[in-house]
Amino acid sequence: MSDTQISQEDEAAETAIESGPEVIKRFAKTLPGRPGVYRMYNHKGDVLYVGKARNLKNRVSSYTRLGGHTNRIAAMIANTSSMEFVTTKTEPEALLLEANLIKRLKPRYNVILRDDKSFPYILIAKDHDVAQITKHRGARNRKGSYYGPFASAGSVNTTINLLQKAFLLRSCSDSYYENRTRPCLLFQIKRCAAPCTGEISAGGYNELVRQAEAFLSGKSNAVKTALAKQMEAASEELDFERAAVCRDRISALSHVTASQGINPQGLTEADIFGLAQEGGQTGIQVFFIRAGQNWGTRAYFPRADKSVEPADILAAFIAQFYDDKPVPRQILLSGDVSEIELLSDALSTKAGRKVDVLVPRRGEKRELVDHAVTNAREALGRKLADTSSQKKLLEGVKNVFGLERMPRRIEVYDNSHIQGTNAVGGMIVAGPEGLAKAHYRKFNIKTEQDTGGDDFGMMKEVLTRRFARLLKEQGERPADAGDNGERTDAGEDETSVGTWPDLLLIDGGKGQLSAVQEVLRELGIDDVPVAGISKGPDRNAGREQFHVSGKAPFMLEQRDPVLYYVQRLRDEAHRFAIGTHRAKRAKAALANPLDEIGGIGPGRKKALLRAFGSARAVSGASIADLEQVEGISKSLATAIYGYFHEGET
């Protein structure tokens, strides 16, 4: 891939304020007729769109036409004030680069893959003399055999649990294994062969590992047949205990395959994609078939404009899906996609082998993709129902607190500390799709000595830092636009929580409310509604009082859904703040004063602790005693002594 960046600095400087087709036309004049990727920016520098082209000059020139564009493309062109370009050797390389940039930059006008979590794998680790079976997620930097992907951690845990019954492989850590003097509970319940204490020979254990790898590689029938023969042989020899062990292992293997639901006969390695659309939204269900077994399924709901065709959505989704994941040998789709041959070539380039992208028309493969579509339709239906319920709750919040429009971003704040120590502030965010955990923030209180446990002071610090930074990064709150009263911030869709809150919820009464409003006034912010939640009479749940500026405190009916919703938000903020506080307190408890002394690194710290046993003992040692420790010079011993005996001569 070429790293040639086509510089357009002069044109960009001239068109910093201008936007539209004329700007794009000036960029198109100097473009080559080569494959590449282009990025379109608005006047703020936000990426609007990332696209790829077989011929950059022709593709970009197509945006200069005055007509023939959808409303989405026309709006994108009108907002474009600058562009950037990267050329590539081939169009498949351009497709891969485009997918990578879209995932990283998340442009407003592209199809965006959301909820792109990494997949877990089963790892039979071989960086120890005795192999270990474990769950793995992330970079494959451990020596061993990897099997997956699995759709979820739950499906991995279930499979490992059944495999332990079938193959008796150890799952303990190496340090735990090394320190065993007698078999652990897993041996007693027949989940481990206990190689740690020699209950099984090295050769016998390696045979179990070989069988497990064969099963996970798709040779399940061969493994079952071999176990059946062993069971018969044991029965003939009247070794009924060994026969029972073989019987239990066969039963466990049957449970593994039976629990997977779909077990295609003619498919060994493939991902199956089914797409469904309803209510202007898209759902895509993915089945993972490995070693002839179904290793789970996951539903996705990509962000896409209603005008984008299903074929374009599916093509963009798949390209982004495999940006950071291994590609199977076959990909089965429920419908046609744009440029299917190009997609196949790009994925083959990434995988380093042939990858078939197919749209089955009949037979078992067609049944599989139809089943994926059915699951996608059901998952989308559940999501739409949840979204509808969430919208009703947000409408209720709007009415209860007298907001001008339905809130898209609700921020809830809470503090946690013990008499002012290890104080932290927590902010959670909720929006049209529920809790937006990617937007949660924690604040380490920097003025603990000054606040001394003063919740008002802590809340002022948290809100000051939050909104001062927001003003610095985003500028003033964007003006509302549109007849429906909803904001149209660049880079956001109707499900986005945005960056500016529509409502602040504070855990507290009038005092906390006044502190927050004072902070906002000092920062020149006067259009963010604030509400306080206090415990109410007898501090009973359901009797909370709400405090809003200019209104008397009020309560909601105990069966009001909005009350339950606000309670959940408050409890989530409380949970988040307490969890952050406990983590900070635990870290402080593990802190060692030796870490604060200059010149004491991990090696010298270890030598000191080995010599004296604890940091407390080091603090009581004399300079002469400290000098006796390997790596501690006289000057360093004096520095250590001085740290613990400040002010002494």
Average pLDDT over residues 304-331: 90
CA-CA-CA-CA torsion sign (66, 69, 71, 73): negative
Within this chain, domains 9-105 and 402-477+494-588 share the same CATH topology: no
Q: 49 and 70 in contact (C-beta within 8 Å)?
A: no
Helix-helix angle 510-522:455-474, to 10 degrees:
30
Reported confidence tier of residue 99, pLDDT bands at 50, 70, 90: very high
Q: Token digits for 7?
A: 């510089």
For 19-53, give the DSSP string.
Answer: -SHHHHHHHHTT--SS-EEEEEE-TTS-EEEEEEE
Indicate the Cα dihedral angle 214, 215, 217, 218, nearest 10°.
120
Give pLDDT, residue 212.
Answer: 86
Which residue has 């793995």 as its token pair?
136
Helix-helix angle 91-105:310-321, to 10 degrees:
80
Q: At residue 426, does pLDDT exceed 80? A: yes
Q: 318 and 292 in contact (C-beta within 8 Å)?
A: no
SS3 of 383-410: the string is HHHHHHHHHHHHHHHHHHHCCCCCCCCE
Nearest-angstrom CA–CA distance, 74 and 348 = 34
Average pLDDT, the chain: 83
Average pLDDT over residues 252-268: 62
CATH tag for 402-477+494-588 (out of 3.10.100.10, 1.10.3720.10, 3.40.720.10, 3.30.420.340) = 3.30.420.340
In this predicted structure, which of 50-54, 238-242, 303-307, 394-398 has the lowest mean pLDDT?
238-242
Nearest-angstrom CA–CA distance, 522 and 617 = 51
For 290-320, give the DSSP string.
Answer: ETTEEEEEEEE--B--TTS-HHHHHHHHHHH
Q: At residue 349, does pLDDT exceed 80? A: yes
Q: Token digits for 328?
A: 């199977």
In this predicted structure, which of 170-179, 228-237, 314-323, 425-434 has the lowest mean pLDDT?
228-237
Nearest-angstrom CA–CA distance, 495 and 280 = 12
Determine if the peptide bond prior to 149 is cis (ω within 30°): yes
Q: Token digits for 367?
A: 């049944």
Give pLDDT, residue 539.
Answer: 55
Give pLDDT, residue 240.
Answer: 79
User: Residue 179, Cβ neighbours under 10 Å: how many?
Assistant: 10
Give pLDDT, residue 541.
Answer: 61
Q: At residue 485, does pLDDT exceed 60? A: no
Give pLDDT, residue 551.
Answer: 85
Average pLDDT over residues 328-356: 92
CATH class of 9-105: alpha beta
Q: At residue 241, does pLDDT exceed 80? A: no
Nearest-angstrom CA–CA distance, 457 and 505 = 17
Q: At residue 478, does pLDDT exceed 80? A: no
**Strands of 330-333's sheet, edge to edge?**
293-300, 281-290, 269-278, 330-333, 356-358
Q: At residue 522, does pLDDT exceed 70? A: yes
User: Residue 64, Cβ neighbours under 10 Å: how many?
Assistant: 16
Q: Which helix (H) or strand (E) holds 158?
A: helix 153-167
3-state secondary structure of 428: strand
pLDDT tens, 21-36?
889 999 998 899 999 9
Q: At residue 218, does pLDDT exceed 80? A: no
Kindly report whether the global pTM for this prediction surpasses the value 0.85.
no
In this predicted structure, which of 405-414, 546-555, 578-587 has the lowest mean pLDDT?
578-587
Reported confidence tier of residue 536, pLDDT bands at 50, 70, 90: low
Give pLDDT, residue 77.
Answer: 92
Residue 81 sits at φ, ψ, to 5 deg, of -120, -10
Give pLDDT, residue 256.
Answer: 61
3-state secondary structure of 560: coil
Nearest-angstrom CA–CA distance, 274 and 314 = 9
Give pLDDT, residue 284.
Answer: 94
pLDDT tens, 182-191?
899 999 888 8
Query: Going by CATH, does the domain composed of 593-644 fall within 3.40.50.880?
Result: no
- Of 148-152, 216-220, 468-472, where does the model show the most confidence? 468-472
Q: Give the residue from 447, 471, 473, 445 showing the smallest Cα distance to 523.
A: 471
Q: 145 and 126 in contact (C-beta within 8 Å)?
A: yes
With left for phi above 0 and alpha for psi between -120 and 50, is residue 634 left, alpha or beta? alpha
Reported confidence tier of residue 247, pLDDT bands at 50, 70, 90: confident
pLDDT tens, 598-620?
788 888 888 888 888 877 788 88
- Name, in order, each residue with C-beta under 8 angstroms of 315's C-beta and a sequence gap of 6 or more: 337, 338, 339, 340, 343
Average pLDDT over residues 33-59: 93
Give pLDDT, residue 491.
Answer: 42
For 89-121, give the DSSP string.
Answer: SSHHHHHHHHHHHHHHH--TTS-B--S-PPPPE
3-state secondary structure of 8: coil
Distance (Å) of CA 528 to CA 95, 238, 394, 426, 549: 43, 81, 16, 19, 12
Residue 204 sits at φ, ψ, to 5 deg, of -65, -40
SS3 of 326-365: the string is CCCCEEEECCCCCCHHHHHHHHHHHHCCCCEEECCCCHHH
Give pLDDT, residue 3.
Answer: 46
Give pLDDT, residue 164.
Answer: 86
* Of residues 257 and 416, more confidently modeled: 416
Which residues are 282's β-sheet partners?
A: 277
Give pLDDT, residue 596.
Answer: 74
Q: At residue 417, does pLDDT exceed 80? A: no
Reported confidence tier of residue 92, pLDDT bands at 50, 70, 90: very high
What percentage of residues in the chain have a pLDDT greater than 70? Answer: 88
Q: At residue 222, does pLDDT exceed 80? A: no
Distance (Å) of CA 562 to CA 402, 543, 617: 13, 13, 58
Q: Token digits for 122?
A: 């089963």
Beta strands in 356-461 (DSSP E): 356-358, 410-418, 421-431, 434-435, 441-444
Which residue has 């074929």 as its token pair?
311
In this predicted structure, which of 78-92, 278-292, 481-495, 541-555 has the lowest mean pLDDT?
481-495
Average pLDDT over residues 27-46: 91
Nearest-angstrom CA–CA distance, 438 and 459 = 22
* Of residues 206 and 290, more confidently modeled: 206
Average pLDDT over residues 514-529: 89
* Of residues 386 and 185, more confidently modeled: 185
Give pLDDT, residue 448.
Answer: 54
Q: Amino acid letter at 449?
A: Q
Q: What's the CATH code, domain 269-380?
A: 3.30.420.340
Give pLDDT, residue 114.
Answer: 77
Tell me the domain boundaries of the chain: 9-105, 121-258, 269-380, 402-477+494-588, 593-644
Average pLDDT over residues 527-554: 80
- Name, in order, each residue with C-beta under 8 angstroms of 578's C-beta and a sequence gap of 6 or more: 416
Reported confidence tier of residue 258, pLDDT bands at 50, 70, 90: low
Q: 501 and 528 in contact (C-beta within 8 Å)?
A: yes
Give pLDDT, residue 505.
Answer: 92
